[in-house]
C-alpha cells in the first residue's frame, strides 16, 4: 500500500472542503476523533439502517468504482426512504484489497455525488485491508408516529409500486453477458442496476398516507411478501398492471413479468394505501415526478400472494427472489 490508512481517510473521505462533502449544522464533530458527535432533532425518531455490499455478491467485480460508490449509498438511502425518513448522516466501513488511489478517487466521486443530492453527511467509519467489501450505516429522521413500516397494510388497501420493476435484474444479465441488446437499451438497464435512484422524496411524501411500505431490494414478489407476513394479510396482484420499462419490454423475454417480479435491486418502493388516501398519495408522488402504479389489492388471505391474469384467474406462479443462504437458481 502506498497511501497509509490515514492518508486514505484524509484524502478521500474527510475531504470536507475539497470534494464538496455535505456540511450539516447538526454534526458537532465528524470524521477525525474516536467517534462522531451528532445532534438529533427533538420530537423526531432516529432511523438507522446498515447494509454491506460484497464484491461479486452484491455487484459484479468489474463494476466501475464510481458506480460501486454510488450504489453503496443508494441501497441505504432506499431503506431510509422505505421508512419515510429524511436522510442525515452515514458511516462508511470499507475493506480494500489495496490502496489504489485511482479506484478510491472514483469510488468517492460516486459516493459523494449521491450524498450531496440527499444532503447526507459522512461522519465516520473504518478502513481495513482485505477482500473488497463496503458497509454503510445510514441515519435519518422521521417525526414520531409517522414512520412507514411493513406491518400496517389493511384488507381493502390498494397495492402500489413506484417506477418500473425488473430493470436491474435485466441489467445484471447484460453485465454477465447473458443478454445482448442494442447499446442504448443496455445502457438504460445497466444504469438502473449500477446507479439506482432511491425514492427518498417519495418515502417522505407517503408519511401519513401509506399504510405500509418496503423498498424492492430482493424482488417485488419477496418484498411484498414481507408486507403480507408482517401485516397478516394477503394480496391479489393483477400481472398485467406490473409496470415494465420500455427498455425491459424490448427484451421480449419469455416469462417477462415473472422475471420482473422475481428479480431484485430495483430500489423502487412498494406501498399499500387505503382507498380514501390513494388519490392524494398518487398526486403527491406525481408532483415529485415519481410515477406509481396500482398493481393490486390487499385481501384477508393471510400470507397468500396471488398473481391474477386479466380475467381474474390465479396463475399459480411460484416466484422467487434473492436470498443469500439458499441456492439461488439463476440462468
Q: Which residues bind ligand ADP (CB under 6 A)?
A: 9, 13, 31-34, 92, 94, 122, 124-127
Q: Which option in ligand ADP, Mg ion, none does residue 13 bind, with CB closer than 5 to 8 A by kind?
A: ligand ADP
Q: Which option in Mg ion, ligand ADP, none does residue 92 bind, with CB closer than 5 to 8 A by kind?
A: ligand ADP
State the distance between the two ends of the chain, measured CA to CA, in whole angstroms: 38
For the CB of residue 9, give the shortest distance to ligand ADP in the complex, in Å: 5
Distance of alpha carbon 193 from alpha carbon 265, whole angstroms: 7
The answer to whether 235 and 158 have CB atoms below 8 angstroms apart is: no
Q: Is 33 in the site for Mg ion (CB under 5 A)?
A: no
**Which one, 94 or 213, has the nearer CB to ligand ADP?**
94
For the CB of residue 127, give the shortest distance to Mg ion in the complex, in Å: 13
For the CB of residue 127, give the shortest distance to ligand ADP in the complex, in Å: 4
**Which one, 124 or 140, has the nearer CB to Mg ion?**
124
**Selection from 95, 136, 120 nearest residue 5 by Cα:** 95
Q: Is 34 in the site for Mg ion (CB under 5 A)?
A: yes
Q: Could you say which residues in the range 139-198 bind Mg ion, by CB under 5 A? A: none
DSSP state of 288: T
Distance of alpha carbon 9 from alpha carbon 323, whole angstroms: 33
For the CB of residue 30, give the shortest distance to ligand ADP in the complex, in Å: 8
**Which one, 13 or 59, has the nearer CB to ligand ADP?**
13
**Which one, 71 or 199, has the nearer CB to ligand ADP?**
71
Q: Nine-digit cell at 102?
A: 485511482
**Which one, 9 or 292, has the nearer CB to ligand ADP?**
9
Which residue is nearest to Mg ion, using beta carbons?
34
Q: Where are the alpha helices (DSSP H) in the chain?
A: 5-8, 65-82, 101-117, 167-175, 183-194, 200-205, 220-231, 246-249, 256-262, 275-287
Q: Is 62 in the site for Mg ion (CB under 5 A)?
A: no
Q: Which option in Mg ion, ligand ADP, none does residue 41 bind, with CB closer than 5 to 8 A by kind?
A: none
Strands lying side by side in the sheet with 121-129? 44-54, 133-143, 86-96, 121-129
**Which one, 106 or 293, has the nearer CB to ligand ADP?**
106
**Which one, 92 or 270, has the nearer CB to ligand ADP?**
92
Total Cβ atoms within 10 A of residue 9 = 20
DSSP state of 59: B
3-state DSSP assignment of residue 240: helix
**Which one, 34 or 276, has the nearer CB to Mg ion?**
34
**Selection from 192, 191, 174 nearest residue 182 by Cα:** 174
Q: Which option in ligand ADP, Mg ion, none does residue 183 bind, with CB closer than 5 to 8 A by kind?
A: none
Q: Which option in ligand ADP, Mg ion, none does residue 126 bind, with CB closer than 5 to 8 A by kind?
A: ligand ADP
Q: Which option in ligand ADP, Mg ion, none does residue 193 bind, with CB closer than 5 to 8 A by kind?
A: none
CA distances from 160 to 83, 132, 282 (A): 16, 36, 9
Question: Which region, judged by CB under 5 A, interacts with Mg ion, from 32-40, 43-51, 222-230, 293-301?
Answer: 32-40
CB within 8 Å of 276: residues ≥ 6 apart: none
Tell me the pairing of strands 86-96 and 133-143.
Answer: antiparallel
Rule CB under 5 A: which residues touch Mg ion? 34
Amino acid at each position: 500500500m502506498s497511501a497509509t490508512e490515514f492518508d486514505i481517510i484524509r484524502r478521500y473521505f474527510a475531504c470536507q472542503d475539497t470534494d464538496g462533502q455535505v456540511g450539516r449544522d447538526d454534526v458537532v464533530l465528524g470524521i477525525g476523533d474516536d467517534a462522531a458527535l451528532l445532534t438529533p432533532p427533538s420530537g423526531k425518531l432516529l432511523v438507522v439502517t446498515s447494509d454491506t455490499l460484497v464484491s461479486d455478491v452484491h455487484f459484479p467485480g468489474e463494476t466501475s468504482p464510481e458506480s460501486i460508490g454510488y450504489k453503496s449509498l443508494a441501497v441505504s438511502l432506499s431503506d431510509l426512504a422505505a421508512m419515510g425518513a429524511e436522510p442525515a448522516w452515514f458511516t462508511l466501513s470499507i475493506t480494500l484489497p489495496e490502496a489504489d488511489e485511482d479506484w478510491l478517487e472514483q469510488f468517492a466521486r460516486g459516493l459523494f455525488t449521491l450524498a450531496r443530492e440527499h444532503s447526507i453527511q459522512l461522519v465516520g467509519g473504518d478502513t481495513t485491508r482485505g477482500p473488497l467489501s463496503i458497509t454503510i450505516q445510514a441515519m435519518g429522521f422521521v417525526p414520531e408516529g409517522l414512520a412507514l413500516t411493513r406491518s400496517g397494510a389493511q384488507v381493502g388497501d390498494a397495492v402500489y409500486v413506484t417506477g418500473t420493476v425488473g430493470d436491474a435484474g435485466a441489467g445484471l444479465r447484460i453485465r454477465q453477458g447473458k443478454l445482448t441488446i442494442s447499446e442504448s437499451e443496455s445502457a438504460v438497464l445497466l444504469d438502473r442496476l449500477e446507479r439506482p435512484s432511491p425514492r427518498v422524496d417519495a418515502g417522505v411524501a407517503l408519511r401519513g398516507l401509506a399504510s405500509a411500505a418496503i423498498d424492492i431490494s430482493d424482488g417485488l414478489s419477496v418484498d411484498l411478501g414481507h408486507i403480507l407476513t408482517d401485516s397478516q394479510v394477503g394480496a391479489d396482484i393483477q400481472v398485467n398492471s406490473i409496470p415494465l420499462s420500455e427498455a425491459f419490454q424490448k427484451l421480449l423475454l419469455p416469462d417477462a413479468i415473472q422475471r420482473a417480479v422475481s428479480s431484485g435491486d430495483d430500489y423502487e418502493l412498494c406501498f399499500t394505501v387505503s382507498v380514501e388516501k390513494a388519490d392524494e398519495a398518487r398526486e403527491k408522488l406525481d408532483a415529485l415526478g415519481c410515477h406509481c402504479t396500482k398493481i393490486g389489492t390487499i385481501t384477508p388471505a393471510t400470507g397468500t400472494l396471488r398473481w391474477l391474469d386479466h380475467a381474474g384467474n390465479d396463475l399459480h406462479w411460484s416466484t422467487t427472489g434473492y436470498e443469500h443462504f439458499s441456492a439461488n437458481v439463476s440462468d
